[in-house]
């Protein structure tokens, strides 16, 4: 279930955590600023998990905004 957003574009920014080759967590935010803060937080909290990959996508433009490791 996606959370309700107070931003102007609800659920536009999608954050995904893959661990050991499987989806482990997802989150959606209407604010890019908040989504980027969450991205940084998830990298810090879960980045050491086996095979961890954290990806932030702007679903409005279908653009990868950040990808860890080895991302923009």
23-56 pLDDT per residue, tens = 999 999 999 999 999 999 999 999 998 899 999 9
- The band of 6, judged by pLDDT with boundaries at 50, 70 and 90, is very low
65 Cβ contact list (under 8 Å, min separation 6): 13, 32, 35, 36, 39, 56, 57, 58, 72
Distance spanning both ends of the chain, measured CA to CA: 28
Mean of pLDDT over the chain? 88
pTM of the entire predicted model: 0.81
Handedness of CA 61, 34, 20, 2 (dihedral sign): negative
Predicted pLDDT at 8: 53
**Distance (Å, rounded) from C-alpha 8 to C-alpha 19?**
31
């Amino acid at each position: 279930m996606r959370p309700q957003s107070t931003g102007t574009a609800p659920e536009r920014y999608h954050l995904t955590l893959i661990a050991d080759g499987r989806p482990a967590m997802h989150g959606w935010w209407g604010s890019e600023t908040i989504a980027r803060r969450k991205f940084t937080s998830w990298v810090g909290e879960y980045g050491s998990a086996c095979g961890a990959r954290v990806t932030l996508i702007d679903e409005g433009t279908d653009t990868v905004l950040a990808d860890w490791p080895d991302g923009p």
